[in-house]
Amino acid sequence: MSELRFDGQTVVVTGSGGGLGKAYAVFFGTRGANVVVNDLGGSFNGEGQSSKAADAVVDEIRAAGGKAVANYDSVENGEKIIETAIKAFGRVDILLNNAGILRDVSFKNMSDDDWDLIIKVHVKGAYKCARAAWPHFRKQKYGRVINTASAAGLFGSFGQCNYSAAKLSQVGFTETLAKEGYKYNIICNVIAPIAASRMTQTVMPPDILEKLKPDWVVPLVAVLVHPSNKHETGSIFEVGGGHIAKLRWERAKGALLKTGPSLTPGAILRQWNNVNDFSESSHPSGVADFMSLLEEAQKLGENEPGDQLDYTGKVVVVT
């Protein structure tokens, strides 16, 4: 049986001094890729820095016969990380935006610093690395990007509003990069992983963490960034502990109302079941889907004041 190989390709893995990033870096090192092991080497909540974490992973990859270099910059300086790839290996093919930190605190107690730091690392960091790699991807008509979201971003999570906001941003970011990159063979996907790491070790019990090895997230990432994946792009995947599933947007059946003065709060309340009815749903993937609904709504035309005012017996329905 043959294996998915990445010979001659350069993969940049941000935050790969530990956790998921390390698992990606080590894997790609064994599959023929040149690996840039980036890590700022600070604490899980973004304090301090050190070259130790990245160096240890580089040593491990080299000891196993792979090719790797370290980079210790913060992802906020993405251009320096991509520069390391170009200087060491002359190219960049794959970018795994993985670096991250937490500043968990209830919304009531959230400080501007807690908010800003999380947005800086997760949102600006992913932007800066992708922005620096993009011209190379376009020029060589080849690029693969994985951004990292989180269940906290998709569904919300108590005490993590800064992190949730930052992580859901990666979905919109990826969806747009996928649309802009497609004709240049730049494929971009976003994952919501779950794995045992220093980030999760304080919030999950050991017996659960045992079932969530970072290594079990890696194979999906490998499939998505492999040259053989030419069309799976702009997608969201949940992955961890052996579970892998794609997520997508779902639009309820909805209500189409005549516009104009009759489009009152009461008119919406009368359609509330349809607004919430997922028995006849659709799965939009772009603004064009909304435009066709708009056309349908326009066909209904406008109403005059009072047109849709219902009466239920003698009770006047809210307008």
**145 part of the interface to ligand NAI, by CB under 6 A:** no
Residue nearest to ligand NAI (CB): 19
**Site membership for ligand NAI, residue 100 (CB under 6 A):** yes
> DSSP for 258-276?
-BSTT--HHHHHHTHHHHT
Q: Tell me the DSSP string of 47-59.
A: ----SHHHHHHHH
Question: Applying CB under 6 A, does 74 fall inside the site for ligand NAI?
Answer: yes
* Helix boundaries (H) for 75-160: 78-89, 112-118, 125-140, 151-155
Q: Least distance (Å) from ligand NAI to the CB of residue 2? A: 29
Among 33, 36, 53, 239, binds ligand NAI (CB under 6 A): 53
Which residue number, 129 or 257, has a Cβ lying nearer to ligand NAI?
129
Q: How far apart are CA 237 and CA 207, in angstroms?
A: 24
State the catalytic residue, choosing from 163, 182, 184, 311. 163
163 is an active site residue: yes
As measured in angstroms, the least distance from the Cβ of 192 to ligand NAI is 6
d(C-alpha 93, C-alpha 143), whole Å? 5
Contacts with ligand NAI in 183-202 (CB under 6 A)? 193-195, 197-200
- Residue from 13, 20, 69, 95 binding ligand NAI (CB under 6 A): 20
Q: Does 170 bind ligand NAI (CB under 6 A)?
A: no
By C-alpha distance, which of 121, 135, 111 is closest to 43?
121
Give CA 231 to chain center in angstroms.
17
- Ramachandran assignment for 240, one of left (phi > 0), alpha (psi -120 to 50 degrees), beta (any other): left
150 contributes a contact to ligand NAI by CB under 6 A: yes
Contact 169, 147 (CB under 8 A): no
Residue 78 binds to ligand NAI (criterion: CB under 6 A): no
Residues with a catalytic annotation lie at: 163
Q: Contact positions toward ligand NAI, by CB under 6 A? A: 14-15, 17-21, 38-42, 44, 46, 53, 74-75, 98-101, 121, 125, 148, 150, 193-195, 197-200
